[in-house]
Amino acid sequence: MQNILNLIGRTEPLFTDDISFNGKELNAAVGSSSFLVIGAAGSIGQAVTKEIFKRNPQKLHAVDISENNLVELVRDLRSSVGYIEGDFQTFALDIGSWEYDAFIENDGKYDYVLNLSALKHVRSEKDPYTLMRMIETNVFNTIKTLKQAEKKGTKKYFCVSTDKAANPVNMMGASKRIMEMFLMQGSESIEISTARFANVAFSDGSLLHGFNQRIQKRQPIVAPNDIKRYFVTPQESGELCLMSCLFGENRDIFFPKLSEALHLITFSEIAEKYLISRGYEPYKCSSEDEARELIKTLPEQGKWPCLFTSSDTTGEKDFEEFFTDNEVLDMERFSNIGVIKNDAVYDEKLLEHFAGKINELRRAKSWSKEDIVKLFHEMIPAFGHKETGKYLDSKM
């Protein structure tokens, strides 16, 4: 973790005090409980699974659509923690499938269900079909697994949200905000909690993870120089999710407190720190063509070509926030974790309208991005979506 902390400009982990103070209670709760982790092989899912595994749960089942990433999860656990006495199994299943439904029907007995599955990339909103899959994954699979957990008598359902759900400006953030609305409805019959946090440094598919790929493939590094973001480490993301799952009251949303320990940093600053840590001097280029050409010769000189530009793509937020002005906060319970307190406030007719409209579009097998943007505006009147016509897939 320390190397990642250095790269994102920090020296200390965020939640050390909270984990230490609540350590005995945390270990006791995990050690006496059974868990299902959905989306267990993604970066956050792996981190959460590891936090549970190392505390010796009675039962831990990990589900993910990625068979390869599940293999890596097991290898990581065996190589770091080792083994537990409890029932640990992995299942390569799509939670939208009938096979998953059969899996739940034939077992499904868990004290805690944690849903970490998500389509998380802003770039996934570029076409109407991937956007519809984002809605399926982030909203409807949440509704489905929540209802299954309720039916099976689960004690608590946790589902990860995002900082981008607070005053959303992109479709991903808006889909998670709508997910939170459905969670409020579900909280009438089963306890739920969630967490909002910032970018997870070097998570799969992230720009920072791409730095590793560019080095391995001997390719230039590209990053925006005008966007500042908060970053948490994978372990911190796992700790926050587990704390919310076990200690969150019904409808609580956990988030990292803003402090000197959690500060804004640009992607280009991290890129420079990253290259220096790898023994290279960043060499700033003025175009993609120059960067692609110089990668042929500069590494032998101890330099690496970079292209740092301003951002002009759809879905980028000017600033990050974990809560809105009208949300009620508890900032006293934990040292470095804030809690958003929610009542069961939701518009049942609006949620029915959303589900009905999406199902109508699916049945027709024809929809446009504009159809979905309009529907999102109906759900979130202040939705600040701005279409620039440019997406990350059109850039290096």
pLDDT digits (tens, 9 = 90+) for 203-250: 887 778 889 999 999 999 999 998 888 889 999 999 999 999 999 999
What is the pLDDT at residue 328? 94
* Residue 137, both tokens: 């994954």
Question: Which CATH code of 2.40.50.100, 3.40.50.720, 1.20.120.420, 3.90.120.10 fits the domain covering 1-199+232-264+317-396?
Answer: 3.40.50.720
What is the pLDDT at residue 198? 78
Nearest to 191, CA basis, from 249, 111, 253: 249
What is the pLDDT at residue 77? 98
DSSP 11: S
What is the pLDDT at residue 387? 62
What whole-number distance in Å separates Cα of residue 377 and Cα of residue 22? 41
What whole-number distance in Å separates Cα of residue 111 and Cα of residue 149? 9
Percent of the chain topping pLDDT 90: 76
Domain ranges across the chain:
1-199+232-264+317-396
Residue 291: phi and psi, rounded to 5, are: -65, -40
- Confidence band for 29, pLDDT divided at 50, 70 and 90: very high
Average pLDDT score, the chain: 92
Strand order in the sheet with 252-256: 87-92, 59-64, 34-38, 112-115, 156-160, 191-195, 252-256, 337-341, 328-330
Say which residues have a Cβ less than 8 Å from residue 47's Cβ, sequence separation at least 6.
200, 234, 235, 237, 238, 239, 241
Task: Tell whether the torsion through CA atoms of 292, 266, 49 and 64 is positive or negative.
Answer: negative
pLDDT digits (tens, 9 = 90+) for 124-182: 788 999 999 999 999 999 999 999 999 999 999 999 998 888 888 889 999 999 999 99
